[in-house]
């Protein structure tokens, strides 16, 4: 028969020990003070050890909690920094756009024309430089065939389609574009036609007219849709047409149409 660990004698001994310890630590009337002192003295090293371990454990938990809080705070600061950086970049972009707009307004012929400022919101997806879209339409008084200029009265195209709050501009480089122009220096007249990304060409200039490389080409005002005097570009190369009846010249625009951000619709004369 297996020996029982908790025998009656062991239980009696354990109970007696518990009673003795209770009497010592409760110490009624101070009777067990000497024995209590001895036991407390013997337990003192263990108490110090437990206190040291518990204190260090508490410090470790406190440190881990602090690290967790610092990590959360760091993540929050990183998010705030990213948000502030984004806002700063947006404000810087808006500031630059406003500065560019002010500079253009100073160079525009505002005294002679009623202008509507507009922002480019889309462009020819084929990369042919054929058209752009702006954020102004019928609601702003924009209509088909209105000329579109940038600073210094440089013509870039005409309104070809209009919607409620947007409009399409056919640029001078589009093959459907044609406009009456003149050589500012010599008075030679011709028709400016677009050739997609290849640029623009001055055509139908009579052989008796004089064209010089480097001359400025401006609108002639003929046809009634575009006012006279809007600058377009400079003559780059002069040659005769294939039938030898007229002169032709390639024209370099004054601005890069792919870089347009802000334009001005000419709604009428003042």
pLDDT per residue as tens digits for the range 236-267? 989 988 888 899 999 999 998 888 999 999 99
Residue 76 lies in a domain: yes
Tell me which of 58, 88, 107 is where a domain ends: 107
Same structural domain, 126 and 90: no
Same structural domain, 83 and 170: no
Residue 2 lies in a domain: no
| Token code pair at residue 143 | 């209509």
Residue 1 lies in a domain: no
Residue 148 lies in a domain: yes
Same structural domain, 98 and 146: no
Same structural domain, 131 and 83: no
Same structural domain, 103 and 142: no
Q: What is the pLDDT of residue 91?
A: 54
For residue 267, count other CB atoms closer than 10 A to its CB: 17
For residue 156, count other CB atoms closer than 10 A to its CB: 23
Q: What is the pLDDT of residue 252?
A: 93
Asked if residues 177 and 194 have their Cβ atoms less than 8 Å apart, the reply is yes
27: which residues sit within 8 A by CB, 6+ positions away?
A: 33, 36
| Token code pair at residue 197 | 């990304």
Same structural domain, 161 and 128: yes
Range of 2-11, 91-100, 171-180 with top mean pLDDT? 171-180
Q: Which burial class, exposed, middle or buried, applies to 128 when counting CB atoms under 10 A from its CB (0-12, 13-18, 19+)?
A: middle
Q: What percent of the chain has pLDDT over 90?
A: 41
Q: Residue 52 above 60 pLDDT? A: no
d(CA 263, CA 88): 25
Same structural domain, 44 and 164: no
73 vs 113, which has greater pLDDT? Answer: 113
d(CA 165, CA 159): 13
Same structural domain, 92 and 222: no
Same structural domain, 147 and 232: yes
What pTM value is reported for the model?
0.62
Asked if residues 121 and 134 have their Cβ atoms less than 8 Å apart, the reply is yes
Residue 187 lies in a domain: yes
Tell me which of 66, 84, 107 is where a domain ends: 107
Same structural domain, 54 and 129: no
d(CA 66, CA 2): 55
Residue 150 lies in a domain: yes
Give me the helices (H) in 108-169, please. Answer: none
Range of the domain at 35: 7-107
Same structural domain, 152 and 64: no
Residue 93, φ and ψ in degrees, nearest 5: -65, -45
| Token code pair at residue 112 | 């002679």
Q: Residue 60 above 50 pLDDT? A: yes
Q: Which CATH number belongs to the domain containing residue 210 in this structure?
A: 2.40.10.340
Same structural domain, 205 and 97: no
d(CA 97, CA 249): 35
Q: What is the pLDDT of residue 192?
A: 96
Number of domains the chain is built from: 2
Q: What is the pLDDT of residue 209?
A: 94
Residue 239 lies in a domain: yes
């Amino acid at each position: 028969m297996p020996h029982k660990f908790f025998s009656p004698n062991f239980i009696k001994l354990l109970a007696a020990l518990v009673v003795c310890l209770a009497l010592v630590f409760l110490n009624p009337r101070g009777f067990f003070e000497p024995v209590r002192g001895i036991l407390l003295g013997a337990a003192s090293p263990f108490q110090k050890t437990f206190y040291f371990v518990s204190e260090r454990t508490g410090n470790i938990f406190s440190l881990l909690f602090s690290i967790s809080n610092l990590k959360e705070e760091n993540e929050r600061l990183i998010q705030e920094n990213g948000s502030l950086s984004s806002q700063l970049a947006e404000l810087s972009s808006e500031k630059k756009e406003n500065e560019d707009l002010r500079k253009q307004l100073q160079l525009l012929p505002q005294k002679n024309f009623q202008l509507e400022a507009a922002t480019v919101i889309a462009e020819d997806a084929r990369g042919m430089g054929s058209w752009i879209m702006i954020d102004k339409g019928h609601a702003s008084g924009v209509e088909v065939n209105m000329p579109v200029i940038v600073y210094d009265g440089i013509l870039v195209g005409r309104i070809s389609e209009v919607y409620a709050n947007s409009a399409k501009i056919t640029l001078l480089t589009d093959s459907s574009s044609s406009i009456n122009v003149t050589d500012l220096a010599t008075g030679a007249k011709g028709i400016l036609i677009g050739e997609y990304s290849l640029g623009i060409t001055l055509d139908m200039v009579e052989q008796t007219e004089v064209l010089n490389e480097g001359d400025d080409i401006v609108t002639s005002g003929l046809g009634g849709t575009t006012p006279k005097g809007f600058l377009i570009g400079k003559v780059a190369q002069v040659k005769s047409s294939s039938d030898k009846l007229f002169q032709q010249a390639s024209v370099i625009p004054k601005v890069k149409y792919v870089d347009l951000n802000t334009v001005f619709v000419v709604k009428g004369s003042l």
